[in-house]
Each structure stands twice: as C-alpha cells, then as structure tokens.
Chain A
Amino acid sequence: MTSRKTVLVLGGSSDIGRAAARAFAKAGYDVGLAGRDIAALEPDAADLRARYNIEVGLHKFDALDTASFESFVGGLSALPDVVVSIVGLLGVQQNAESDFAHATTIMRSNYEGPSLILGLFAEKFLVRGNGTIVGVSSVAGDRGRASNYVYGSAKAGFSAFLSGLRARASRGGVHVVTVKPGFVRTKMTEGMKLIGPLTVEAPVVGDAILSAVEKKTDVVYVSGKWRLVMLIIKTLPEAVFKKLKF
C-alpha cells in the first residue's frame, strides 16, 4: 500500500486522458485508467509506470452502459482522491440531424454518461468528506451553434450539471472542476480546421486539469483567449447570432 494520492481517469485512452494521466503521475499520483478497451490502455499504463515509477491500475468502463456504473464504482479497490471524466464524443452533426441513433449516442456520451458517473462519485466523496471531481466539458456548450449543436447542447447540459453539483458538493468538502478546453489538437479534431492561436496541444490541457485540482479552481478555460471569445459569443443578440456563419 502506498500513501500517495490517486486519480482515476475515465476515458483514459483519449489524447487528453493520456495527457491528464501523465500530468498527475508526474506530480506523484498513482493512476487508474478506465476505458472500454483494457488492452488498448496497456501501452499507456506501461508508459506511466516506466516514466514515473508509480502504480497504474486498469478498469473497464463504458460511459454508455449506465447500468454498470454502480458495480463499476463498487468494484474499485479504493475510492480515488480525484476522478476526471474526459469521456465525450464529437460525432457528426449533419448525420445527427436526421439519424436518431447517432444523435442519441452523442447526447448520452457527452451528458448522460459523464453526469451520472460523476454524480455517483460525488455521493461517495460526500460520504467520505473529501475528493475532487473534474468534468471535461466544452466551450461548445456555452452557446449552441448551427454547426455542432447536438454535441454543444449535451456539453451545455454537462456544464450545468457540474455547476449545480459544485454548488451542492462544496458544502460537503468536495470540489468540482469544469474544464472547457476549446480547440485541442487530438484524434477528435483531426481533419478539422482549427484556428491556430486558439488551439492548444493535449499536454497543455493535462497540465491545466492538474493545476485546477491543486488550486481548487471552479471553471477553467484552458486558453484564456477562449473566455473572451465565448463572452462575446454569449452576449451577441440571438437576432445577430442566427445570421452568423459560425
């Protein structure tokens, strides 16, 4: 047994998940990586062990299988100090407009699954009296855009869930962080046109997550520029906004 702190990363095989795991591992945390495909997580676990000489555990987790959440949390050998959800799915907006199944998957992957699992951890953390919960949401949730509102609306729901959870849980010693990364160069955004000055690399997000946990920040826009951009976008009158090609 170690006395080190532990972090559990849900969606551990994503680029941001890997980056977050590295940031925490570097800071001395033992790490749990959770994802659908355990075998796919093995190389990342080996990477963390080799780099930082820490304990790494692997856990099978499917964010769409909400029925398994209770047993997933119950099956952990110990409750982590920090749980981070990177789970999400960008999907294809155009398909989601006519394909119910695709829209449902996007909504469930970005809102239902992450909210329910973090809510479950929150209950356990509140009983224990401490813990940190991190949800990676998106600037896309700040205002629905014609080009990705299915994804954006689910992220908006997730952001609202986190903000409410934060208000409630803070009274019980549990801290909730909302992370809004903006454009990140990852698998998810490959092939998309990203605006250079507003785009960051995954490790920057990983470091921002660690720093938010340590400094007990509530809402993090990974690049400060996004806070300004979204402030402007949020304050545009609807009559103007709907005419913008955006």
Chain B
Amino acid sequence: MTLVSGWGRFPVVDSDVLRPRSFEAVGEAVAGMAGSVARGNGRAYGDAAIGAVRTIGMTGFDRVRSFDPATGRVRLEAGVLLSDLIDTFGPRGFLPFVVPGTRFVSVGGAIAADVHGKNHHCEGGFGRYVDSILLRTGQGEILEVSREQNSDAFFATVGGMGLTGVILEATMRLRPVETGWIRERVISASDLDAAMRALDAGDAVTYSVAWIDCAARGRDLGRSLIYLGEHAGKDELARDAVAFPAGKNPGLSVPIDLPSMTLNRYSIRAFNELYYRMGARRAGGSHVVSLYPYFFPLDSIADWNRIYGRRGFLQHQCVIPEQGARAVLGEILDRVSRRGDASFLAVLKKLGQGDGILSFPLPGYTLALDFPLKGDILNFLDEIDRLVVAAGGRLYLAKDARQSRATFEAGYPALSRFNAIRKSLDPACNIRSKLSQRLFDEV
C-alpha cells in the first residue's frame, strides 16, 4: 500500500498503486479487485483519482496512435499529457481546443473531469472535441463509445470522474492555429459589478478570465483584472518572433513545504495589492504573449501546492447560474475577505452549458478559491456551500475533497441518470474511487 493524495494534498489515504503496461493488465487490475479507479497525472485536487482500494496509474500509456495533419484529428492513449500534445503538435500548427489552468493533466483525466478552459463560454469543454473513447468497463468489456455508438456511456464518461470505466484511448480534434501566441487585453475592474460587466462584454471574445483580489473589501470588493485573449495570427508577431515559442520546464520550484505561517492575511493582502497594481498598469492596450503564461500561469512554479504547507489546501470551485449570481458571488467574496486567509487570488469566469451528464459547467459564473487547511475551514466552506446550493449552483468534482452528499446531490440533478448508466456498465461496482465512496455509492 502507498500513501496517495491529490494535488491539494488532502486527504492522504492508503491505496494499492499499480502501473499496468498493457491494456490486458489494466483489465486484470480492474477485475482483480473491487474498488479501483484510474489516475492520470494526479492533478485532481481531492480524492477523485484515488481508488477505494486500488489506484491504476495510467501515465505509462503515452503513445500517439495516429494523427491526420489535414484535419487535426488525433488518436491517443489516455496517459498522454496536454503538455506533451502542445509540445508535439503546437509546432505543427495544432493545439488542444480546451486547456485548463495547468498543462500537466492527462487526456484521460481531462475527459473524466470534462475540464473547462477560459473559452468555455463560447467553445464548451474538453469533451466537446472528443469524438470517441475506448473504455474498459468494470464489467470487463472494452467498449468504443461515441456520440453515435454507446452514446449513453459516452456522455456518462465525459465528466464522469472515471466511474464508468478506465479510459484507455481517445480520438479528438485539435484546433488549427497559426502561432503559439495569444493577443491579450487586460481590463482592470474596480469592483465586482465592473468585473462581471467586463466578463459579459467579453462574451464574444474566445478566452476570458478574471483574477479577483479576494483580500479587497468594502467598496473594492471584487476588484479584479480581466484577461481577454485571442489566438494571434502570423502577421501579428514581431518580425523576428518564432511562430511557436518553446514551453519551458518549470524554472522555479518550491523545494519544501512552507510553514503555514507564510500565508497570512498580511502577506496575502500585500501580494494581491502588488498583483492588482502591476496588472492595472498593463490594462488598456493589447499585446501578444506566449500561450504558456497566458493559459498556465502557475505551471511556471513547480510544486506550487507546497506553498500551502504540509497539511495541504482545499480548493473551492463553484458555479452559480447567471440569474442572481451577482448577489451570491458578492456574499461569498465578502465572507472570504472578512475571513482573511483565503487564496492569493480568486478566479472568476463565465461558463456555458456542459456536455457530459455530470459535467460541472452550467451557464453562469464560476468562482475558484484556495484555502489552506486549518482552523474551522471545513465549517466555513459548508456555509459557503449552502449559499451555492440555494442559488442552484454546484461544486467542481475534480477539485473537491470535502463537500457533503447533500450538496452534491442538490447540485447534480442528472445524478440518477448517471447512476443508472454506471450500473449497466458495472453492475458489481468494481470501479470505485474515494470520491465515489464519499458522494455516490449506496451506503
């Protein structure tokens, strides 16, 4: 048994970890023990990628099966990382349509969480660009699932947190791009109303996201920087610029767990003040930036999860339906800023309709916050959850480590349909994660 945890380093649990080398061995790993789930690169924050008994590491499956340079269709093994896809096909003029805030996630994980990016409001989630999936079910079958073939299983697998089976391979479409650069425009918003207006005004822009200073309060509550982006064409680059900038490996890294003292209301406030002022100075004009800092600002610091100390941290990401979102978001931000120990930065963005049965996105605003694991944080987040549920919102499973069953069930009304499909694929419930034990499985 090995101690395993997610990116947030909470919870830490014992699990039998296997790294099969063939699809047959994956099958044996699933069949051999009730209670296993696949794990990609371990970037889910909580307990989603930890098996109830056994965790099946998939990063060894990192082969590209085929690529059509005319259409950008690619077939891959599930352990290929998005960073690998970007490094490999970027220089050939193709990028994933959807990337989350880190490029170090596997394709299988990105499908299982139906990850969203800064373009969800206009282009949808990761699953929208997946044409078919090769799935190894808990019952032992290997199924090809797509919108046309086994479509129930397909839509349960997209966003299904790995609970419909082990994703072995996927065929997906890549986005043709002229360059690896983004034309970015920064808007500074002095409060939450201005931030939401700026995001609304950016509806037609491909990429948009707001970084909120969650230490600000009172009149400044919700003050933020909104980053809008479009893919830059070749003609927009400086004459000597390379069309596709190289992605650097993380230069800085956090070598040790910082003492939990490091993050306190003063250091966070100082950091946020600085971040806001530096960003505000760039506001207004547009400029061209490499895709890496634009999409993956935190990837430049390896092991940044150690900033929160040994006990780890919790991320709370909710989505609130558009109607009434302003009041609820204001209330949440107000409570967070009064509390004082919230994250460096909160992220606010707009989402559109999700594709999978359990996909997180719904039309509205999503707010992501980090909290160091200490004090009464669990109670505090339960209170925030009540606001979310009352507003008809839900929490993102890929980042969750602590929500209650009631919160989950209220937020995901399609759960019974998902459960029925899951049961048909895996009657004995061989596929089980710590997350599914906490939130889904019959008790």
Contacts and interface: CB of A to CB of B under 8 A. Distances in A.
B19 A46 contact: no
Contacts of A50: 64-67, 74
Nearest to B64: A50
A194 to B, nearest CB: 13
B32 interface: no
Q: Which range contains the number of B residues in contact with the other chain?
A: 10 to 19
Interface string A219-233: 000000000000000
Contact of A43 (B63, B67, B69, B89): B63
B21 interface: yes
Interface string A1-31: 0000000000000000000000000100000
Given A187-B21, A190-B19, A51 B88 contact: yes
Contacts of B64: 46-47, 50-51
Contact of B63 (A26, A47, A187, A190): A47
A44 interface: yes
Interface residues of A, number: 11
A46 B69 contact: no
Interface in B68-99: 69, 74, 88-89, 92
Closest 4 CB pairs of A and B: A47-B63, A50-B67, A50-B64, A51-B88
A218 to B, nearest CB: 25
Contacts of A217: none
B272 to A, nearest CB: 33
A53 interface: yes
Interface string A188-215: 0010000000000000000000000000
Interface in A129-157: none
Contacts of A43: 63, 65
A46 B88 contact: no
Interface of A: 26, 43-44, 46-47, 50-53, 187, 190
A52 B88 CA distance: 8
The residue in A46, A53, A187 that gathers the most chain B C-beta atoms within 10 A of its C-beta is A46
B65 A47 contact: yes
Given A51-B88, A53-B69, A46 B21 contact: no
A102 to B, nearest CB: 22
Interface of B: 19, 21, 63-67, 69, 74, 88-89, 92
Contacts of A26: 88
Contacts of A51: 64, 67, 88-89
Contact of A44 (B19, B21, B63, B74): B63
Contacts of A46: 63-66
Given A53-B92, A187-B21, 10 more contacts: A26-B88, A44-B63, A46-B64, A47-B63, A47-B64, A47-B65, A50-B64, A50-B66, A51-B64, A52-B88
Contacts of A47: 63-65
Contacts of A52: 88
A47 B66 CA distance: 7
A187 B19 CA distance: 9
A180 B74 CA distance: 35
B33 to A, nearest CB: 18
A15 B362 CA distance: 42
10 contacts: A26-B88, A43-B65, A44-B63, A46-B65, A47-B63, A47-B64, A50-B66, A51-B64, A51-B89, A190-B19
A52 B92 CA distance: 9
B270 to A, nearest CB: 32
B427 to A, nearest CB: 32
Contacts of B69: 53
A52 B21 CA distance: 23
Nearest to A186: B60
Contacts of A44: 63
Nearest to B21: A187
A51 B67 CA distance: 7
B302 to A, nearest CB: 13
A46 B66 CA distance: 7
A190 B67 CA distance: 31
Contacts of A190: 19
A222 to B, nearest CB: 15
A187 B74 CA distance: 27
B90 to A, nearest CB: 12
A45 B21 CA distance: 17
A53 B69 CA distance: 9
A51 B62 CA distance: 12
Contacts of B92: 53
Contacts of B21: 187
A47 B67 CA distance: 9
Contacts of B19: 190
